[in-house]
């Protein structure tokens, strides 16, 4: 499987301490290296964030948009991981890249328009940018 091969070797990346760690990770002080795990954790963190946002008319638009982009990001990552051809892998991962960029845009808009959340969101925005850089690199290398 193309995606499976990449999940074991090519998708391993620099360590990032996950702020949404499990009890096992806390006790062993492990860092998350698997890009699929990082994306899944990121999706969950974004969805939990939007649940806590004030339900203003403006935020409802942001919530709708970011929910669509972040869930598409996660779903297409799983599709890429399960792909059966290089073409299918590349197509799915390109969508992940686009959805990650859109999610990062909405995160920044939410942070700027909800000042009380800005500091809390900083690690989430950083994680989104790191995932975007990793996925961009994988897409670029997949073109070769």
Render pLDDT for 58-93 as a digit per residue (tens, 0 to 9). 999 999 999 999 999 999 999 999 999 999 999 999
Which pLDDT belongs to residue 32? 58
CB 3 within 8 Å of CB 80: yes
* Residue 32 bridge partners (DSSP): 16
Angle in degrees, 0-180, between the axes of helices 86-113 and 35-52, rounded to the nearest 10: 30
Q: 3-class DSSP state for residue 14?
A: strand
The pLDDT assigned to 38 comes to 97
The pTM of the full predicted model, rounded to 2 decimals, is 0.78
CATH number, span 2-13+21-143: 1.20.1440.60
The three-state secondary structure class of 85 is coil
């Amino acid at each position: 499987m193309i995606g499976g091969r990449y999940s074991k070797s090519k998708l391993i990346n620099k360590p990032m301490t996950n702020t949404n760690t499990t009890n096992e990770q806390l006790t062993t002080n492990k860092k998350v290296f698997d890009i699929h795990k990082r994306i899944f954790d990121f999706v969950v963190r974004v969805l939990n964030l939007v649940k806590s946002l004030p339900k203003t008319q403006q935020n409802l638009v942001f919530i709708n948009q970011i929910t669509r982009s972040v869930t598409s990001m996660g779903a297409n990552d799983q599709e890429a991981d399960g792909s059966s051809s290089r073409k299918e892998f590349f197509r799915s991962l390109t969508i992940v890249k686009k959805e990650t960029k859109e999610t990062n845009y909405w995160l920044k808009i939410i942070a700027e328009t909800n000042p009380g959340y800005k500091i809390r969101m900083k690690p989430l925005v950083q994680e989104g940018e790191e995932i975007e850089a990793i996925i961009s690199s994988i897409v670029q290398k997949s073109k070769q």
